[in-house]
Amino acid sequence: MQNVLEIKNLSFGYSKEKTLFENLSLSLKKGELKAIVGESGAGKSTIFELVLQNIRPKRGEIVVTQRISEVFQDPYSSFHPSYTLLNQIADVAPLAALPKYLDNLNLDEKLLHKFPHELSGGQLQRASILRAMLMEPDLLLLDEPTSALDNVIQLDVMQMLMGHLGEMGMLLITHDMDLAKWCADEIIAI
């Protein structure tokens, strides 16, 4: 199966004195979920910024597929405050599969006609996951995607995501080692 992400000998630091990681390598195929775990400040989210080409590495190579979608840890910063969720989702994704995902994410369609500040953190995080899935990515980047959810919904959401592994590869950032052990094909500690 084809790689959706290939990272080779990646090195990065925000200053010459402090390197976050050296020679990081990983590959990810459709059907795989890999987890990156580490302490706060270790550079986990920075890896996503590098994959998205928002910043450049000191050294190394990143080869990624064309269709990437991401779910950020802070759902409030991933939606514009003055547009309804449905408008923002429709701007980037087809809505044909909307009913299927709404049910899987335990979201009422009426919530999508609201503005981001009108939803709870958990509802907004599930809307962020909805948007990412509707984009039909080859690579899904998940930065603490269930941290704002209660345990029951967290399990439902992770099971739904894993049910779509045949369609994409997923790279998960988490502090939750139990979650990583439960769902990941490989755990990368940084």
- CA gap 141, 171 in Å, rounded: 5
Half-sphere exposure of residue 179, counting CA atoms within 13 Å on the CB side?
22
Reply yes or no on whether the pLDDT at 19 is more than 90: no
Which is higher by pLDDT, 38 or 169?
A: 169
Residue type at position 130: L
Return the pLDDT at 164. Answer: 93
Mean local confidence (pLDDT), 142-159: 88
* pLDDT winner (highest mean) among 32-46, 83-97, 142-156: 83-97
With beta carbons less than 8 A apart as the criterion, state whether 102 and 60 touch. Answer: no
- In order, the DSSP letters of 92-144 are HS--TTHHHHHHHTT--GGGGGS-GGGS-HHHHHHHHHHHHHHT--SEEEEES
pLDDT band at 59; cut points 50, 70, 90: very high
Query: In the prediction, which pLDDT does 90 show?
Result: 96
Res 5: pLDDT: 97
The DSSP bridge pattern shows strands 68-71 and 139-143 to be parallel
**CA distance readout (Å), 110 to 67, 118, 158, 183:** 28, 12, 23, 31
Position 42 pLDDT exceeds 90: no
Give 81-111 pLDDT, tens digit per residue. 999 999 999 999 999 999 989 988 989 999 9
Of all residues in the chain, the percent with pLDDT exceeding 90 is: 73
Q: What is the dihedral of CA 77, 78, 80, 85, to 10 degrees?
A: -130
pLDDT band at 56 (very low <50, low <70, confident <90, very high): very high
Q: Please tell me the predicted confidence (pLDDT) of residue 114.
A: 97
pLDDT of residue 75: 86
Walk me through the domains of the chain, giving residue ranges and CATH numbers: 3-82+139-189 (3.40.50.300)
Asked if residue 170 lies in contact with residue 142, where contact means CB atoms within 8 angstroms, the answer is yes
